Amino acid sequence: MPMNKVSNDSLEKIASEVIGCPLCKLSRSRKNAVPGDGQLSSKIMFIGEAPGKNEDEQGKPFVGAAGMILNQALEKAGIKRAEVFITNVVKCRPPNNRLPENDERSICRQYLDRQISLIAPKIICILGSTAYSSILGGKSIIKNRGKIMEKNGQKYFLTIHPAAAIYNKNLRSVLNNDLFLLSKEIKKMEYDKRTSLLDYIADETKL
């Protein structure tokens, strides 16, 4: 598995630290920590809130009802789940699925930051308001969903949390449409990269 050249960090190292993490009170109630799932080479990273009951049981992100909604939206948008990295703001389930508290978010943040810096995704898809407020300091995901933002040179795409669409068909179409926009954005980014490379080659060969 490739290692980060500068720090010797790796996704496996982060995962094993997360699995044994004793740093906040969520470690005392969890069954399994949920480090995240996906490839180092992922161009897109999805960040949700926190593991729920199914995730806590299986140690994998988005494997319950919200995960099924996310999978369907990914499939409709032509994005392969195996080609993206999926994780959460906090890696352990908060009791009764309450919101993760500020101390839990900030203690867990180092794992997320290390995952982001290793993967260096072209774009991070923020799922819902906990990820939006924790990562970008935003307030209303519903007002800002479908938008692209840039912070410290990293691109972000904002959308609703799939759990919000479990009982709401309208929100399901919102999520589907947003992920379709995200897939178009990725294609555009790849096209822009190709055309600028072709322009560069054309310029160089004129010399």
- Binding residues with ligand URA: total (CB under 6 A): 11
Q: How many Å from the N-terminal Cα to the C-terminal Cα in the chain?
A: 40
Lay out the site mask for ligand URA across 139-178 (x = CB under 6 A, - = otherwise).
Answer: ------------------------x---------------
CB of 136 to ligand URA, least distance (A): 16
Strand 154-159 relative to strand 84-88: parallel, antiparallel, unpaired? unpaired
Q: 33 or 66: whose CB is closer to ligand URA? A: 66
Q: 62 or 111: whose CB is closer to ligand URA? A: 62
Report the C-alpha gap between 53 and 93 in whole angstroms: 7
Q: 66 or 126: whose CB is closer to ligand URA? A: 66
Lay out the site mask for ligand URA across 39-68 (x = CB under 6 A, - = otherwise).
Answer: ---------xxxxx--x-----xx---x--
Q: How many CA atoms lie within 13 A of 139 on its CB side?
A: 0
CB of 94 to ligand URA, least distance (A): 10
CB of 62 to ligand URA, least distance (A): 4
Indicate the length of the chain as a whole number.
Answer: 207
CB of 66 to ligand URA, least distance (A): 4
Closest by Cα among 206, 204, 186 to 43 = 186
CB of 46 to ligand URA, least distance (A): 9
CB of 48 to ligand URA, least distance (A): 3
Closest by Cα among 48, 31, 182, 160 to 112 = 48
Report the C-alpha gap between 121 and 119 in whole angstroms: 5
In the bound complex, which residue of the shown chain has the CB atom lying closest to ligand URA?
Answer: 48
Residue carrying structure tokens 């290390």: 114
Say if residues 51 and 92 touch (Cβ distance below 8 Å). yes
Q: 113 or 190: whose CB is closer to ligand URA? A: 113
Say if residues 125 and 157 touch (Cβ distance below 8 Å). yes
Q: Which helix (H) or strand (E) holds 127?
A: strand 123-127
The footprint of ligand URA (CB under 6 A) covers: 48-52, 55, 61-62, 66, 88, 163
